């Protein structure tokens, strides 16, 4: 049993508070991803769980133990570092077995555990090499191997894929997911890449400026973002946001068209309230190249300034009410820059945020 | 075609020029050393000959024989000097390395009040010429009764070397990513274990080079040693060289023979540690 609990955890460096009393419960065997822009406190949070940073307030518990003041070696965790942090003077085999060596386990047991990890991560042929003679992906696997050898209660990953090239990153992402299925352990994973977060996580924790903005499954945070920050951070391309005002059952986009107030927000807004209308590119499509929209929709004209063909679809960049808006075109045809098209907006998929608090009005 | 030929010739000439330049540079560096070695094997007549005799004729071991011979026949207590030098250099190097490692690690890893000032202060001590300290040191040593003792010179050499070893070792520990120690701590090490099992072996090259420099400084130092030593009990080899000067003559051959004996251990040590230096410099556990 290794759930991880953070209660009102605060981190201060001198007078500067960088993590402001966050609360988080991570269940046993859960894969939780902390995601956010750089400087949001996600790595600091991870390092506090690891015991590499002291906490300035609150409680952290792993399993049933409060670990606030325990050194890393007494927390039964392992960690994969962004730059791998392999011991350069040891061979792969020594790197993998180091933790067991320190724990003074019998040699036979160490060999068995190391071979097992090497098997899982297909490292067998590199066992006698030093890290300097390995490629980036191999080093990454050694770092993961070193983490799994000890059978820790909790795995911590600190941006483990950010040093790999794009192709290898996708491959290692899959391997990490497979690894989680194999070793069945609680994982806390830090990344700034929302695609990694979406694909790996059981639950995503989105952080900004030392606060948790939203916690939820990947689909939850994608479909019902709690505020405009989450709306633009999760999903690619980011959600389109247009400011406007509620006017008699309609949303009047500032300097743009009026669209019917989506049903899901009826009764949740007041006349005259300043709002932000949000919708994803997938829900704004040109007529004749759109998915059939079953619920209410709005239509308006927009000039396309730029198009990016992606094969199965084309990403269109238009401008609406003086702001850049991204739309998608299915079954694409070539679009000339400056072409004026009629667009359909799927209102059932729209989001409304309060203009002042930036929070979702759902 | 013609153009290609021109470029090829030019490249060859350039390469030749490189070799010539390299030869001249190496000659300037090596000739004095070779001259010393050569002189240790020949009689004074050849050493003092004008014009100089470059191609040796009739080399012999007379100078060495005399040096190890009886005191009255040009002998000097070589073994005693050698032992003194060894004890003083090894001990002072060992202490300087220990202090250097503690200090260098502290400067590389920890933040504390006055860090920059202390560091600059340490470096400034390097700006003071050693000789200018000889009189104050002499007085202090005389008052404390450390004149003509191993301990006295050891203390002086530790003081001389510590700023340098701290500076050098600090640089090497800075290059060791802090993640390595953190990874070791997560793998179950105490802070102490993390240092000795991971950070120290990785920075070993730096410690080794600091060791060489400290050793060579102590081994070769003359000015202070000549003030602070009196008798064969504490005289080091560089001071021993002066035994070959008398009121009217200088026994150049003997001096060169002793100098060769001095050079050999330093050379051997450098070669041994150099291997470690190169091995230790092949980093690679961390992606840059």
3-class SS at B283?
A: coil
Cα–Cα dist B102/B100, whole Å: 6
Asked if residue B82 is part of any domain, the answer here is yes
* Pair B240, B133 in one domain: yes
A-B Cβ pairs (cutoff 8 Å, strict): 91
**DSSP state at residue B55:** S
pLDDT digits (tens, 9 = 90+) for A332-357: 899 889 999 999 999 999 999 999 99
Cα–Cα dist A118/A129, whole Å: 13
Among B20, B39, B68, give the residue marking a domain's end.
B68
Cα–Cα dist A349/A225, whole Å: 12
Asked if residue A359 is part of any domain, the answer here is no
Asked if residue A360 is part of any domain, the answer here is no
Q: Do B177 and A83 touch (CB under 8 A)?
A: yes
Q: Do A87 and B198 touch (CB under 8 A)?
A: yes
pLDDT of residue B143: 93
C-beta of residue A143 within 8 angstroms of C-beta of residue A78? no
pLDDT of residue B276: 64
* Pair A182, A62 in one domain: yes
Q: Which CATH number fits the domain that encloses residue A163?
A: 3.40.50.300
Strand partners, A191: A35
pLDDT of residue B192: 92
DSSP string covering B213-278, please? Answer: HHHHHHHH--HHHHHH--STTT--HHHHGGGGB-SS-B-HHHHHHHHHHHHHHHHHHHHHHHHHHH
* Pair A275, A199 in one domain: no
Asked if residue B285 is part of any domain, the answer here is no
Asked if residue A92 is part of any domain, the answer here is yes
Q: Do A150 and B183 touch (CB under 8 A)?
A: no
Q: What are the structure tokens assigned to B125, written together?
A: 């001590």
* Pair B12, B110 in one domain: no
DSSP string covering A197-260, please? Answer: HHHH-SEEEEEETTEEEEEE-HHHHHHS-SBHHHHHHSSSSPPEEEEEEE-SSEEEETTS-EEE
Q: What are the structure tokens assigned to A26, written together?
A: 């991570």
Q: Which residues contact B129 (CB under 8 A, 6 or more apart)?
A: none
* Pair B28, B112 in one domain: no
C-beta of residue A278 within 8 angstroms of C-beta of residue A354? no
pLDDT of residue B46: 83
* Pair B221, B132 in one domain: yes
Handedness of CA A85, A200, A63, A214 (dihedral sign): positive
* Pair A141, A31 in one domain: yes
Instruction: Find the CB nearest B179 among A85, A132, A139.
Output: A85
Q: How confident is the model at residue B186 (pLDDT cuts 50, 70, 90)?
A: very high
* Pair A23, A131 in one domain: yes
Q: How many domains is chain B built from?
A: 2
Q: Which residues of A lie inside 8 Å of B (Cβ-Cβ)?
A: 50-52, 71-73, 77-79, 81-89, 98-99, 102-103, 130-133, 136, 139, 146, 150, 163
Handedness of CA A287, A288, A291, A293 (dihedral sign): positive
pLDDT digits (tens, 9 = 90+) for B33-76: 888 998 899 888 888 888 887 787 778 888 888 888 876 666 78
Among B68, B93, B110, give the residue marking a domain's end.
B68
Using the CB atoms, write b or e for A113-130: b if 16+ within 10 Å.
bbbebbebbebeebbeeb
Provide mean pLDDT across the span B177-197.
92
Cα–Cα dist A154/A27, whole Å: 11
* Pair B58, B106 in one domain: no
User: Backbone phi, then psi, for A298, in 5-degree steps?
Assistant: -120, 155
Asked if residue A361 is part of any domain, the answer here is no
* Pair A52, A142 in one domain: yes
* Pair A144, A291 in one domain: no
Cα–Cα dist A187/A160, whole Å: 13
pLDDT digits (tens, 9 = 90+) for A253-295: 998 888 888 888 888 888 889 999 999 999 999 988 888 877 8
Q: How many domains is chain A built from?
A: 2
Asked if residue B203 is part of any domain, the answer here is yes
* Pair B22, B151 in one domain: no
* Pair B43, B88 in one domain: no
Q: Which residues in chain A have Cβ-Cβ distances shorter than 8 Å to B188?
A: 73, 99, 102-103, 150
Asked if residue A348 is part of any domain, the answer here is yes
ipTM of this complex prediction, to 2 decimal places: 0.84
* Pair B137, B231 in one domain: yes
Question: Is B284 an interface residue toward A (CB < 8 Å)?
Answer: yes
3-class SS at A105?
A: coil
Q: Which CATH number fits the domain that encloses residue B230?
A: 1.10.3720.10
Q: Which residue segment(s) compose the domain that B129 sits in?
A: 72-280
Q: Which residue segment(s) compose the domain that A326 sits in?
A: 240-354
Q: Which residues in chain B have Cβ-Cβ distances shorter than 8 Å to A99?
A: 187-188
* Pair A31, A103 in one domain: yes
User: Backbone phi, then psi, for A51, in 5-degree steps?
Assistant: 90, 10
Ranges under pLDDT 70 in chain A: 1
Among A233, A249, A273, give the residue marking a domain's end.
A233
pLDDT of residue B149: 92
* Pair B191, B222 in one domain: yes
* Pair A223, A276 in one domain: no
Among A188, A208, A233, give the residue marking a domain's end.
A233
Question: Is B87 an interface residue toward A (CB < 8 Å)?
Answer: no
pLDDT of residue A291: 83
Burial of A346: CB neighbours in 10 Å, binned 0-12, 13-18, 19+: buried
Q: B48 to chain A nearest CA, in Å?
A: 54
Q: What are the structure tokens assigned to A166, written together?
A: 């794009």
C-beta of residue A2 within 8 angstroms of C-beta of residue A61? no
Among B68, B101, B125, give the residue marking a domain's end.
B68
Asked if residue B286 is part of any domain, the answer here is no
Using the CB atoms, write b or e for B251-262: b if 16+ within 10 Å.
bbbbbbbbbbbb
Q: Is B100 left (phi over 0), alpha (psi -120 to 50) or beta?
A: alpha
pLDDT at position B275 over 80: no
Q: What are the structure tokens assigned to A176, written together?
A: 């990490």
Cα–Cα dist A227/A278, whole Å: 10
User: Nearest-CA neighbor of B234 among B68, B88, B76, B71?
Assistant: B88
Cα–Cα dist B245/B74, whole Å: 10
Asked if residue B267 is part of any domain, the answer here is yes
Q: Which residues in chain B have Cβ-Cβ distances shorter than 8 Å to A13?
A: none
Antiparallel, parallel or unpaired: β A313-320 and A31-35: unpaired
Q: A261 to chain B nearest CA, in Å?
A: 53
Q: Do A87 and B184 touch (CB under 8 A)?
A: yes
pLDDT of residue A121: 85
Q: What are the structure tokens assigned to B273, written together?
A: 């540690």
Among A233, A258, A278, give the residue marking a domain's end.
A233
Q: Which CATH number fits the domain that encloses residue A321?
A: 2.40.50.140
* Pair A297, A203 in one domain: no
Cα–Cα dist B255/B266, whole Å: 17
* Pair A17, A80 in one domain: yes
Asked if residue A66 is part of any domain, the answer here is yes
Instruction: Find the CB nearest B180 among A73, A87, A163.
Output: A87
* Pair B139, B213 in one domain: yes
Asked if residue B198 is part of any domain, the answer here is yes
Q: Do A73 and B187 touch (CB under 8 A)?
A: yes
* Pair B99, B194 in one domain: yes
Cα–Cα dist A24/A303, whole Å: 45
Asked if residue A297 is part of any domain, the answer here is yes
* Pair B113, B231 in one domain: yes
C-beta of residue A343 within 8 angstroms of C-beta of residue A300? yes
Question: Regarding predicted confidence, which is higher, A293 or B200?
Answer: B200
Asked if residue B287 is part of any domain, the answer here is no
Cα–Cα dist B85/B234, whole Å: 8
Q: How far is CA B258 from CA B41, B186, B236, B251, in A?
A: 11, 54, 11, 11
Q: Which residues in chain A have Cβ-Cβ distances shorter than 8 Å to B282?
A: 88, 132
* Pair A44, A173 in one domain: yes
Q: Among all chains, which residue has been given the structure tokens 């220990």? A: B98
Instruction: Find the CB nearest A130 among B190, B193, B284.
Output: B284
Asked if residue B22 is part of any domain, the answer here is yes
* Pair A142, A175 in one domain: yes
Q: A181 to chain B nearest CA, in Å?
A: 23
Q: Which residues in chain B have Cβ-Cβ distances shorter than 8 Å to A77?
A: 186
Antiparallel, parallel or unpaired: β A250-253 and A258-260: antiparallel
Query: Cis omega before residue B51 (within 30°)?
Result: yes
Preferred mutation among A54, A74, A78, A89 to probe B, highest tally of B CBs within 10 A = A89
Q: A255 to chain B nearest CA, in Å?
A: 50
């Amino acid at each position: 049993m290794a759930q991880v609990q953070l209660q009102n955890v605060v981190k201060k460096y001198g007078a500067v508070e960088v993590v402001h009393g966050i609360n988080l419960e991570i269940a046993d065997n859960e894969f939780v991803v902390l995601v956010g822009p750089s400087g949001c406190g996600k790595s600091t949070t991870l390092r506090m769980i690891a015991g590499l940073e002291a906490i300035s307030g609150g409680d952290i518990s792993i399993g049933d133990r409060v670990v606030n003041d325990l050194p890393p070696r007494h927390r039964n965790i392992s960690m994969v570092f962004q730059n791998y942090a392999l011991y350069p003077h040891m061979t792969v085999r020594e790197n993998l077995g180091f933790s067991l060596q320190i724990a003074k386990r019998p040699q036979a047991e160490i060999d068995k555990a190391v071979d097992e990890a090497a098997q899982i991560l297909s490292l067998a042929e590199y066992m006698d090499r030093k890290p300097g003679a390995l490629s980036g992906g191999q080093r990454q696997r050694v770092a993961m191997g070193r983490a799994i050898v000890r059978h820790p209660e909790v795995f911590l990953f600190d941006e483990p894929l950010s040093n790999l090239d794009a192709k290898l990153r996708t491959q290692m992402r899959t391997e990490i997911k497979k690894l989680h299925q194999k070793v069945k352990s609680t994982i806390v994973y830090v990344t700034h890449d929302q695609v990694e977060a979406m694909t790996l996580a059981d639950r995503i924790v989105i952080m900004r400026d030392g606060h948790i903005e939203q916690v939820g499954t990947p689909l939850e945070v994608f479909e019902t973002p709690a505020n405009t920050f989450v709306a633009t951070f999760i999903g690619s391309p980011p959600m389109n946001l247009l400011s406007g005002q509620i006017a008699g059952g309609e949303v009047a986009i500032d300097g743009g068209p009026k669209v019917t107030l989506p049903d899901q927000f009826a009764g949740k807004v007041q006349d005259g309230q300043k709002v932000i209308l949000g919708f994803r590119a997938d829900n704004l499509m040109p007529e004749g190249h759109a998915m059939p929209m079953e619920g209410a929709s709005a239509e308006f004209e927009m000039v396309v300034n730029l198009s990016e063909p992606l094969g199965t679809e084309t990403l269109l960049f238009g401008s609406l009410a003086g702001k850049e808006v991204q739309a998608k075109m299915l079954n694409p045809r070539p679009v000339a820059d400056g072409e004026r098209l009629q667009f359909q907006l799927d209102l059932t998929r729209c989001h409304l945020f309060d203009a002042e608090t930036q929070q979702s009005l759902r | 075609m013609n153009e290609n030929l021109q470029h090829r010739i030019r490249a060859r000439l350039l390469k030749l020029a490189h070799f010539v330049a390299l030869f001249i540079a190496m000659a300037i560096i090596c000739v004095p050393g070779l001259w010393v070695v050569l002189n240790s094997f020949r009689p004074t007549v050849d050493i003092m000959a004008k014009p100089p005799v470059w191609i040796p004729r009739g080399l012999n071991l007379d100078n060495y024989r005399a040096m190890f011979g009886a005191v009255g026949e040009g002998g000097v207590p070589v073994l005693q000097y050698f032992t003194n030098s060894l004890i003083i250099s090894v001990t002072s190097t060992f202490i300087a390395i220990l202090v250097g490692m503690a200090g260098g690690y502290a400067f590389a890893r920890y933040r504390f009040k006055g860090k920059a000032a202390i560091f600059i202060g340490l470096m400034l001590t390097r700006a003071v010429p050693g000789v200018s300290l000889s009189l104050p040191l002499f007085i202090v040593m005389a008052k404390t009764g450390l004149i003509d003792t191993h301990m006295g010179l050891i203390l002086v050499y530790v003081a001389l070397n510590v700023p340098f070893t701290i500076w050098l070792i600090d640089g090497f520990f800075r290059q060791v990513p802090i993640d390595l120690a953190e990874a070791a701590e997560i793998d179950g090490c105490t802070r102490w274990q993390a240092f000795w099992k991971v950070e120290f072996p990785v920075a070993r090259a730096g410690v080794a080079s600091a060791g060489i420099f400290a050793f060579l400084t102590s081994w070769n130092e003359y000015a202070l040693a000549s003030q602070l030593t009196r008798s064969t009990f504490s005289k080091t080899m560089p001071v021993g060289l002066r035994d070959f000067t008398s009121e009217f003559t200088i026994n150049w051959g003997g001096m060169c023979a002793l100098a060769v004996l001095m050079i050999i251990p330093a050379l051997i040590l450098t070669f041994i540690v150099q291997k470690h230096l190169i091995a230790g410099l092949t980093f690679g556990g961390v992606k840059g």
